[in-house]
Amino acid sequence: MTQELALFARRRWITMKAVFAGVAAASAALCLDVSAQQSAVGGARSIEAAAVSRAQTLEQVFWQCDYASTQVVLDFGTAAYCSVVNEELKKTRFGGDYDAMHLWWQQNKATEHARFDTAPSGSNLR
């Protein structure tokens, strides 16, 4: 039983590390997005690049949340954060279309989760 508890604690720590890394990345992307919108120098190209970066970051955090939720019961704060990420990704990438997002999720879940399963324990994916 002690070994199982230790394994659970390790998985939870690894999962939370991945979620918090995602939170940091999403926060950075949002800052970049705001910074790009305020910058008149880069014009539309910098805003477009920031939007692409933000969408990619949202997708990465979405998969971290999705994987984490299959490994441990998420605490309330993490679950709420993941819910916000889910809604923002649905809005920005799928135009609010739940069915399109659900189909995308079904097609990509195995591949994305495999990345977490095979990632070294020190990487950002774990």
95 lies in some domain: yes
Domain count, the chain: 1
64 lies in some domain: yes
123 lies in some domain: no
* Nearest one of 12, 19, 11 to 86, comparing CA atoms: 19
126 lies in some domain: no
Q: What is the mean pLDDT of the chain?
A: 74
Residue 14 has pLDDT above 60, yes or no: no
Which whole number is the average pLDDT over 83-105? Answer: 95
Q: pLDDT for 21-34, tens place per residue? A: 555 555 555 544 44
20 lies in some domain: yes
Residues in the chain: 126
Which residues are within 8 A (CB) of 125 and not within 5 positions of it... i.e. 6 or more apart?
Answer: 18, 64, 115, 116, 119
* Nearest one of 30, 111, 29, 117 to 68, comparing CA atoms: 117
Contact 55, 95 (CB under 8 A): no
Please give the C-alpha separations between residue 95 and each of 77, 83, 90, 98, in angstroms, as whole numbers: 26, 17, 6, 9
Q: Which domain holds residue 103?
A: 8-118
* Nearest one of 25, 23, 49 to 36, comparing CA atoms: 49
Furthest-apart CA pair in the chain: how many Å? 60
pLDDT at residue number 118: 83
